[in-house]
Amino acid sequence: MPMLESYLATIAHTRNMTLKLVADLTDAQLTLQPAPNVNHPAWVLGHLLQVDYAFAQLLTGEAPPAFIDDAWRATYGPKSAPVADPSLYKPKAFYIEKLAAVREKIVTRLGQMSPEDFHVPHPDPARRDRFPTVGHAVMLYGTWHEAYHSGQLSTWRRVLGLPPV
């Protein structure tokens, strides 16, 4: 499946870029905000983690782990506001470890899917306007969404005077 191989290579490249953008950061730097409401690295990593678990759930039916709860969603969800209080966030190692584990589940399941699996209607009727099929959600979550937030990390680095990656 050449298309699936291209997709898997793209999501791997995008994730690798995200990880490079935070590789040299200390835990203390993760919540620095050069301006109010800027998405800092702790928020971006936690948000990507929440989305990856939703992505995995879409593909596997497996519920997210217990730590992805209402408090997590309030901190990292789409309508949350990042703050510069490090006590509200996890250490970088936590995010990196969990992102790797959930991404492994996603990639494994994607490799098992047939072309027809991508054409199945999205299981949540409320999301079908935006994502008519599983394939639509897979494409957005694996590519655009993470690349969008990687761009935020890249800009955040430059504003703080850190070298580009």
Strand partners for 133:
121
Query: Is 83 part of any domain?
Result: yes
Strand, helix or coil for residue 133? strand
Structural domain span for residue 126: 2-159
Count the residues in the chain: 165
- Tell me the pLDDT of the chain (165 aa) as tens digits: 578 899 999 999 999 999 999 999 999 999 999 998 899 999 999 999 999 999 999 999 999 999 999 999 999 999 999 999 999 999 999 999 999 999 999 999 999 999 999 999 999 999 999 999 999 999 999 899 999 999 999 999 999 999 999
Assigned domain for 40 exists: yes
Q: Is residue 120 part of a domain?
A: yes
The verdict on residue 80 lying in a domain is yes
Residue 148 is inside which H or E element, if any? helix 145-159
Count Cα neighbours of 138 within 13 Å in the Cβ-side half-sphere: 25
User: Is 70 part of a structural domain of the chain?
Assistant: yes
pLDDT of residue 107: 96
Instruction: Give me the number of domains the chain comprises.
Output: 1
End-to-end CA distance of the chain: 32
* Cα(71)–Cα(93) distance, integer angstroms: 20
Domain annotation covers residue 60: yes
CATH number at residue 118: 1.20.120.450
Q: What 3-state DSSP class applies to 112?
A: helix
> What is the predicted pLDDT for the residue at 2?
72
Indicate the residue type of 107. Answer: V
Residue 165 lies in a domain: no
